[in-house]
Amino acid sequence: RRPLQTFTPRVFANKKVKMRERERERERERERERERERERERQRERERERERERERERERERERERERRSLFLQKC
């Protein structure tokens, strides 16, 4: 059996280094998660923009249809 590890200053320093590394890794993971969230938000925004564009196009189409009808009625 190995004797219990004594906490020499070097062992303690190594432990602190490992803890800091784990903390940095968690921070990077949180940053990646935030980046993915921002990307999803941009995606939703683009989708809403396309939807508004389609709506405007339908509105223009209805407008042209009304003009054709009124012109047709004027001819009669």
- The C-alpha atoms of residue 54 and residue 34 are separated, in whole angstroms, by 30
Cβ-proximal residues to 5 (8 Å cutoff; 6+ apart), any chain: 11
Ordered per-residue pLDDT tens for the chain, 76 residues: 777 767 788 888 999 999 999 999 999 999 999 999 999 999 999 999 999 999 999 999 999 999 999 988 888 7
What is the model's pTM? 0.57
Is the distance from CB of 5 to CB of 11 less than 8 angstroms? yes
Is the distance from CB of 20 to CB of 14 less than 8 angstroms? no
Angle at 6 between CA 9 and CA 14, to 5 degrees: 40
